[in-house]
Structures are given as structure tokens and as C-alpha cells.
């Protein structure tokens, strides 16, 4: 049993409160058009394309790093798995969003990664992309669509997921190595998360 109180986080670590959310039936659609000049497409990313998009969407601002630490063979296994699907929003021929849906658990779909680059934030692209995610997930034989976010993500993420029809179902604290201290990400990443080294 964990006692109430404050706990020290060791130097070199970061901590975040993680909220898990789920959708047990398709949420009503909240239709919006695609932003002008933006196209939605499924992609089959190679390692370089995926890592570039992953970094531009989430690494610098939100400290996304797990996929950057994977060995090439392990990441390539995810990228080529037929039960994992990748989508983007393109503008001017450049990937500007990441939507990753994982159907490897029977009867479920995990919204693994969802985000926009700064070029699309505030354009309505997030709502448009979420509509696509919900439609694609529930087009498969699932009974649960789930996602998680944490306190290192954009403060808009949790309320956005709730407005989209997800319901919080679990809360955890995650502690891990700070990826800015081992060179995975630059020290200037995620300025809202202090570094303790």
C-alpha cells in the first residue's frame, strides 16, 4: 500500500502523472472539414520518416522519447506489423501529424501516438484527425478504444480526449530516466519539465 505524501524523485529522473482513458462504444462524430491545403493519408513509414515525424510532433515540446530509444530492428518490427497502422496529415507535401493505431490486442485498439506539428496546431486539424481515428478504430471488430496522456504532454491533451468521447479509467505515476541527460533529446527540450541532474 502506498501512503499519502510527497516522494523524492532521484536526480536524473523525470516523473509524470499518467491518465489512461477508454471509449467502449463509438463516440458521436463532431464533424469538421479538413483544414485548407491539408490531406489525410495512410503511410508506411520507413525508420527515417517515422523518427523525423515523431521528433517534430512530440519530442522537443512534449518529451516523447520511447521510440527514439528502440533498436532499429525493434522499431522496424512495429512499423511493418500489419496490425499497426500509421496516418498523417500532409501540408505542402510534408508530414505534419502522427496518428498511430495498434490493433495487436484482440478486441481493442490503442491510440498509441496522436499529435500535430506546430504548423497545424490551432487550425482544427486535431479535431479532424481525431474524427478519422475514431472512425478507423471502430471500423474494426473492437469493444475498446484506449489512449493515455501524461502531465508532460500538452495541457490541452486530456480535455481534448475527454471532449472526443474518452473516459478516464486509470491513473498512474511514471518515473523514468530523463532523456535529455543521456543525449536522446537536447537539454532544451520540454522547457516546462525541469531537469534535475
Return the residue matching grid coordinates 530492428: 73
For residue 111, tell me if it sits in a domain: yes
CATH of the domain at 152: 3.40.630.30
Domain count, the chain: 1
- Residue 194 is assigned to a structural domain of this protein: no
Write 44-48 long-range contacts (CB < 8 A, 24+).
Answer: 44/79, 44/86, 45/79, 45/86, 46/79, 47/72, 47/75, 47/76, 47/79
Question: pTM of the prediction?
Answer: 0.95
Looking at the domain assignment, is residue 70 inside a domain? yes
pLDDT beyond 90 at 183: yes
The reply to whether 11 falls in a domain is no
Average pLDDT, the chain: 95
- Asked whether the predicted pLDDT for residue 71 surpasses 90, the reply is yes
Dig out the grid coordinates for 33 from the structure. Answer: 472539414
User: Is 118 among the domain residues?
Assistant: yes
Q: Is the pLDDT of residue 101 over 90?
A: yes
Give percent above pLDDT 90 in the chain: 94
At residue 24 the predicted structure's pLDDT band, cuts being 50, 70 and 90, is very high
Q: Is 10 part of any domain?
A: no
Residue 162 forms part of a structural domain: yes
Residue 30 in this model has a pLDDT that exceeds 90:
no
Number of helices (H), then strands (E), belonging to the chain: the values are 6, 8
Q: Is residue 7 part of a domain?
A: no
d(CA 72, CA 137): 27
Boundaries of domain holding 57: 28-177
Amino acid at each position: 500500500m502506498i501512503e499519502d505524501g510527497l516522494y523524492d524523485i532521484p536526480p536524473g529522473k523525470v516523473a509524470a502523472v499518467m491518465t489512461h482513458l477508454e471509449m467502449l462504444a463509438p463516440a458521436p462524430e463532431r464533424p469538421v472539414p479538413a483544414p485548407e491545403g491539408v490531406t489525410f493519408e495512410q503511410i508506411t513509414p520507413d525508420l527515417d520518416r517515422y523518427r523525423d515525424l515523431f521528433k517534430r510532433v512530440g519530442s522537443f515540446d512534449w518529451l516523447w522519447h520511447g521510440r527514439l530509444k528502440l533498436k532499429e530492428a525493434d522499431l522496424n518490427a512495429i512499423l511493418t506489423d500489419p496490425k499497426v497502422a500509421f496516418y498523417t496529415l500532409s501540408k505542402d507535401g510534408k508530414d505534419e501529424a502522427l496518428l498511430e493505431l495498434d490493433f495487436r490486442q484482440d478486441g481493442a485498439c490503442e491510440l498509441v501516438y496522436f499529435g500535430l506539428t506546430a504548423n497545424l496546431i490551432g487550425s482544427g486539424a486535431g479535431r479532424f484527425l481525431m474524427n478519422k481515428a475514431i472512425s478507423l478504430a471502430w471500423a474494426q471488430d473492437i469493444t475498446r478504444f484506449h489512449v493515455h496522456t501524461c502531465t508532460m504532454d500538452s495541457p490541452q491533451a486530456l480535455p481534448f480526449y475527454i471532449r472526443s468521447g474518452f473516459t478516464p479509467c486509470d491513473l498512474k505515476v511514471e518515473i523514468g530516466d530523463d532523456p535529455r541527460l543521456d543525449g536522446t533529446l537536447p537539454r532544451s527540450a520540454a522547457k516546462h519539465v525541469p531537469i534535475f541532474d
